[in-house]
Amino acid sequence: MSRDKDGSIRKAPLLAVIQQFRLLNFSALLLDGGRFFRCVLIATIGYWAAASLILARRLDRPTDSDIALLKWGIWPMLAIIECLGLAYVIFDRVL
């Protein structure tokens, strides 16, 4: 029996697309030479790789954490990519 009575697994990717579209547009407008846009783009690619695995494996019976990751997963992914990018910049200048 599917837990998806209200269509939340179907609505979650739509919310993610709207968030990512807005985030990509905002980051494209920043005047930082495209650095933040590249981070957002990498996070978006990573998000959709993880989301496609979730949708392929658990489309019939998603857990609550799966739905939360599909809705809001771009934000932790972006934070991880930003920290890795900052560490790269710091250690690149040190070494």
The pLDDT value recorded for residue 1 is: 39
The pLDDT value recorded for residue 25 is: 95
Q: Say if CB 50 and CB 73 are below 8 A apart.
A: yes
* Domain boundaries of the chain, sorted by first residue: 8-94
In order along its 95 residues, the chain shows pLDDT tens digits of: 355 556 678 888 899 999 999 999 999 999 988 888 998 999 999 999 999 999 898 888 888 999 999 999 999 999 999 898 888 878 877 65
Give alpha helix (H) positions in 2-73.
8-29, 35-57, 64-72
Torsions phi, psi for 66 (to 5 deg): -65, -45
Task: State how far the Cα of 6 lies from the Cα of 14, in Å rounded to an integer.
Answer: 14
The pLDDT value recorded for residue 24 is: 94
The pLDDT value recorded for residue 91 is: 84
Element (H or E) spanning 75, and its range? helix 74-94
